[in-house]
Amino acid sequence: MNDIKICVIGLGYVGLPLARLFSTRYPTVGFDMNQGRVDALMQGHDVTLEVSDELLQDAIEKHGFKCTTSLEDIKDCNFYVVAVPTPVDENNRPDLKPLIGASETVGKVISKGDVVVYESTVYPGVTEEECLPVVERVSGLKYNVDFFAGYSPERINPGDKQHTVEKIKKVTSGSTPEVADLVDGVYNSVLVNGTHKAPSIRVAEASKIIENSQRDVNIAFMNELAKIFNAMGIDTHDVIEAASSKWNFIKLSPGLVGGHCISVDPYYLIQKAQVYGVLPRVMTNARRLNDGMGDYVANQVIRLMNKKGVMVKDAKILILGITFKENCPDIRNTKVVDIYQTLREYTSNITVFDPWANADAVMKEYQIPIVSESRQLKICEYDVIILAVAHEAFLKMDLRVLQEEHGIIYDVKGVLPRDIVDGRL
């Protein structure tokens, strides 16, 4: 493996941390179509905050890590890793365009004997049935004769500073036993906790997609319980605390399911299952239930306002947080937007405050203006405050003043002191 030179295609939440890690052991180049992204990285800053400025600058200065948009800069690589998004379209159907585009890029630069490894989350069969034929067509090379492939699903958890990429145990696979060993060896050489070598690419693909589907189903169950217990006037979190005293109870909380993984990946398996004549009812119902939780929260808030005599029409509402999870700038598929849109039918006086989110990105993606600094807020002026994201900064805010003014505080995350909230999910 001494002659390995790696190119990571796609420098987002997954690709950049992986490329930075590889650069500590192998000559590594990061490729991305976004020139602005590449320029910012070469200046030593990652706007996703997944890689610290110190680590990134160290990779550039000490290990020769380079980011580029030029195909010429990656032609001499021999181990290509594809880490591009796999979104769904407006009808929740898998959108493979980024993956096909990346495969075309690989096809333009791959040479005989090279290996391409896919990290993007897909349904079983995509790598060999959709991606590699594109590489063959563009390159003129034959799969498993002239070039080889592997699949090692990403396990990046945005904003998680404990389970960082070097500490994640990775699943690996290869298109031949020898290539499987090579791929496994390359990943093993940079990972603290090693790898699990799957028997085939399809098994590795399937393992990734059920990781996120399982979590989606489990959270959907908790969300369904929250709806039941809220209707009964029972606090769901109290129920969960009591039940978790049993040794084998799996403790999860209800909540909004957004982001680029859990709220998206199950659709890939749902669609593929139907091709084989299987209707995945549990996953489909879980997706439907979780997708509706933003609207449910908004209506719970409206119900509380009516009970407390707070006028809904033209009410002044403050939503704390718009990223899809706490202490992270990632706004992809955030379901806080659904809370906003439902309440927007009743009032235009809604302020969204999030010190982690990029205001320009939020406006471009969702057409929602946000406030980024707390000094722009005066808590006592609002009729309603909704804690939608559990950023640490929000937990330090003094929200009791609103309670004194007879306003409503709704806690989506169940993290605020019980005595100051009027309702929680």
Catalytic, 261? Answer yes
For residue 384, give the H/E element and its range: strand 384-387
Q: Strand, helix or coil at 386?
A: strand
Cα separation, 140 vs 160, whole angstroms: 41
The active-site residue out of 7, 67, 131, 261 is 261
Strand runs labelled E in 253-360:
317-320, 350-353
Phi, psi for residue 53 in degrees, rounded to 5:
-60, -40
Which residues are CB-neighbours of 307 under 8 A, at least 6 positions away? none
Measure Cα distances from 95 to 46, 126, 387 in Å.
26, 12, 33
Q: Strand, helix or coil at 103?
A: helix
The neighbour count for residue 40, using CB atoms within 10 Å, is 16
Please tell me the number of Cα atoms within 13 Å of 201 on its side-chain side: 25
First to last CA, the chain: 52
* Active-site residue set: 261
